[in-house]
Amino acid sequence: MEQQERQLAGTLRRDEIGKKVCLKGWVQKRRDLGGLIFIDFRDRSGLVQIVFNPAISEQALEIAESVRNEYVLEVCGQVVERSTDTINPKMATGEVEVVVDFVSILNEAKNPPFSVFDDKEISEELRLKYRYLDLRRESMQQTFRMRHQATQVIRQFLNEEEYLEMETPMLTKSTPEGARDYLVPSRVHPGHFYALPQSPQLFKQLIMVSGFERYFQFARCFRDEDLRADRQPEFTQIDIETSFMSSDEIMAMTERMMQKLMKEVKGIEITSPIPRMRYEEAMERYGSDKPDTRFDMELVDVSELVKTSNFKVFESTVNTGGKVSAINVKGQAANYSRKDIDKLTDFVKIYGAKGLAWLKIEDNAFKGPIAKFFSEEEQASMMKVLQANENDLLLFVADAKSIVYDSLGALRMKLAKELHLIDESQFNFLWVTDWPLLEYDENAGRYTAAHHPFTMPSDEDLDKLDTHPEQVKAQAYDLVLNGYELGGGSLRIYKKDIQDKMFKVLGFSEEEAWEQFSFLLQALEYGTPPHGGIALGFDRMVMLLAGKTNLRDTILFPKTASASDLLTEAPGSVGQTQLDELHLSLQQKAIDETSK
């Protein structure tokens, strides 16, 4: 066996011509041609072509004949210049090849269930089952190299800004409210359970009480909820908390971090300061609390204009407390048939809208079944506020405010994608601020925290917490990128009396609050500094940086929508002994499921 130092395949260039090298890696593709064997040889650095020539080594060629795709080889040979006609400009190493005089098969490989170098669509089930092969593909390798790089850049930044990286527990307290907690039965304490953290929220607040002042962590978090395409039962968030900083200072720090990240990972300078928008404005203009600002087509409130119109649907909606908003689909009137618009109507109905009214602009006037309800004047003023011109398509929803926002906001996104209005190369960051502190839960008949119960009300609204809780704004801020919520944060309640009041507004009795959060309430009494922070979804951040659309492409070993790991077949059934040790029994449904 040769003992020469290993070199990386993807690094070989012209200036290595003549050099003897040894490589270790995988057979990506083998081609037999005119008595020679050519192999695209791959390692973590990339590809190089290696050649087996009987004139150089009969023995090596013989071995190469037995070699198939994904075999692991050690090869040694000379770097030679390729002839002009065989230079491959698509490969970084395309000007050279290695003529092999020694080869050793380090491991064999069966024919893989899918090729690791084609860009063919492969079923996601197969990809997840053979994740270790899926991950060999170039685009996956790139994504996880980028993820690593992003990790290091962010850590370096936070380290330089004197944030301490600290680890909080995974085996934490389960709370009666924690409907989405993953529970972990304790063997030592029968009938007792830990919970996996949905976030290290309370621990990071305690770290502030401890006086460390600046904390961060790449925190694994867990949420046992019905999964959507962009959710995973375990996910990673960049968790940050600081003492003695204003929300402006926390936002500014986050901006510096994102600037550095975008610069170092994507080579992109982002606009600074990142624009800010109040929650109310975001809803009014984009029908979304995480607006995609890479394109316009904003929602326009026409309630005032239509409340005296002859179109009864609009008129009565406005006069019974609802509103009418519209979007202007520029220059698309001719391209949307009635049938097309019917489909859009079906779409907005998903969001609770009763219907979708439409108008086209033809010869500088409204056209369409409802055009007749609007006077020439009304038409003129509506065209003005909607900046409508010839061949524009106007789409209206008249409904309760929240339905108008949800449906038109979603329609806006759908149309932008259909019409390719989005410049995919852009990275539009946006802060959404001035969030409501509370939401009214109709089912429960009480208020719930819009963010979490530890969010600080805005100073000027503090008095309204008892009297008009629905009007209280939170000192909270979300960072939005291209229509995705990257993360959010807030100042936290650091005074015991405000926290008590908050729990009361949320309908907790004193006993309930104490039972669940005694340690926090106690900590607030021993010199808690003003503090706040932010948590950013790291998986999603990587997804957006890598230009992917599926979170599963940014998590090394992800789970399916039903929270299964197709590779290891988790979760699995366990033995009775293990259950007995935990003093647990399966209920009938569980017995049925496991005996299937």
How far apart CA 199 and CA 205 sit, in angstroms, is 11
Would you say 306 or 536 has its CB closer to a second copy?
536
Would you say 252 or 422 has its CB closer to a second copy?
252
60, with CB counted inside 10 A (0-12, 13-18, 19+), is: buried
CB of 170 to a second copy, least distance (A): 5
How far apart CA 227 and CA 552 sit, in angstroms, is 12
CB of 472 to a second copy, least distance (A): 21
Would you say 133 or 536 has its CB closer to a second copy?
133
Would you say 251 or 313 has its CB closer to a second copy?
251
CB of 268 to a second copy, least distance (A): 22
Minimal CA–CA distance to 360: which of 332, 382, 386, 323?
A: 332
Residue 225 known to bind ligand: yes
Query: 38: how many CB neighbours lie within 10 A of its CB?
Result: 19
3 state DSSP class of 46: strand
CB of 105 to a second copy, least distance (A): 10
Residue type, 351: Y
Would you say 170 or 449 has its CB closer to a second copy?
170
CB of 216 to a second copy, least distance (A): 10
Q: Encode 356-414 in three state secondary structure.
A: CEEEEEECCEEECCCHHHCCHHHHHHHHHHCCCCCCCEEEEEEECHHHHHHHHHHHHHH
Residue 280 known to bind ligand: no
Please report the sign of the dihedral spanned by the C-alpha atoms of residue 195, residue 199, residue 200, residue 201. negative
Would you say 369 or 529 has its CB closer to a second copy?
529
95, with CB counted inside 10 A (0-12, 13-18, 19+), is: middle
Would you say 308 or 585 has its CB closer to a second copy?
585
Residue type, 30: R
Residue owning tokens 């963010």: 451
Taking CA atoms, 94 is separated from 97, 103, 129, 172, in Å, by 8, 21, 34, 54
Residue type, 553: D
Residue 227: DSSP 8-state: -
CB of 161 to a second copy, least distance (A): 13
Token pair for 140: 């996956």
Residue 374 known to bind ligand: no
Token pair for 119: 């860009």
Q: Encode 200-217 in three state secondary structure.
A: CHHHHHHHHHCCCCEEEE
Write b or e for each residue in 175-212: b if 16 or more Cβ atoms lie within 10 A of its Cβ, otherwise e: eeebeebbeebeeeeeeebbbbbbbbbbbbbbbbbeeb
Q: Note whether 317 and 304 are within 8 A (CB).
A: no
Residue 420 known to bind ligand: no
- Which contiguous run of DSSP H or E holds residue 38? strand 36-43
Residue 152 known to bind ligand: no
Residue 503 known to bind ligand: no
Would you say 312 or 589 has its CB closer to a second copy?
589
Residue 565 phi, psi (nearest 5): -105, 110
Residue owning tokens 């065209």: 383
- Which contiguous run of DSSP H or E holds residue 97? strand 96-107
CB of 155 to a second copy, least distance (A): 6
CB of 332 to a second copy, least distance (A): 42
CB of 484 to a second copy, least distance (A): 20
CB of 223 to a second copy, least distance (A): 11
Would you say 280 or 565 has its CB closer to a second copy?
565
Residue 14 known to bind ligand: no
Token pair for 366: 């409204």
Residue owning tokens 């001719």: 334
- Looking only at the bridges linking them, the beta strands covering 429-433 and 357-362 are unpaired
Would you say 36 or 135 has its CB closer to a second copy?
135
CB of 194 to a second copy, least distance (A): 5
How far apart CA 97 and CA 93 sit, in angstroms, is 8
Would you say 550 or 585 has its CB closer to a second copy?
585
CB of 224 to a second copy, least distance (A): 5
Would you say 223 or 412 has its CB closer to a second copy?
223
CB of 214 to a second copy, least distance (A): 7
Residue 102 known to bind ligand: no
How far apart CA 589 and CA 46 sit, in angstroms, is 51
Residue 412 known to bind ligand: no
Q: Note whether 176 and 188 are within 8 A (CB).
A: no
Residue 224 known to bind ligand: yes
Chain length of the chain? 596
Would you say 273 or 529 has its CB closer to a second copy?
529
Minimal CA–CA distance to 311: which of 361, 355, 343, 364?
A: 355
In the chain, the largest separation of any two C-alpha atoms, in whole Å, equals 93
Annotated binding residues for L-aspartate, written as ranges, equal: 177, 223, 451, 492
List residues forming the annotated binding site for ATP.
223-225, 232, 485, 537-540
Residues comprising the binding site? 177, 223-225, 232, 451, 485, 492, 537-540
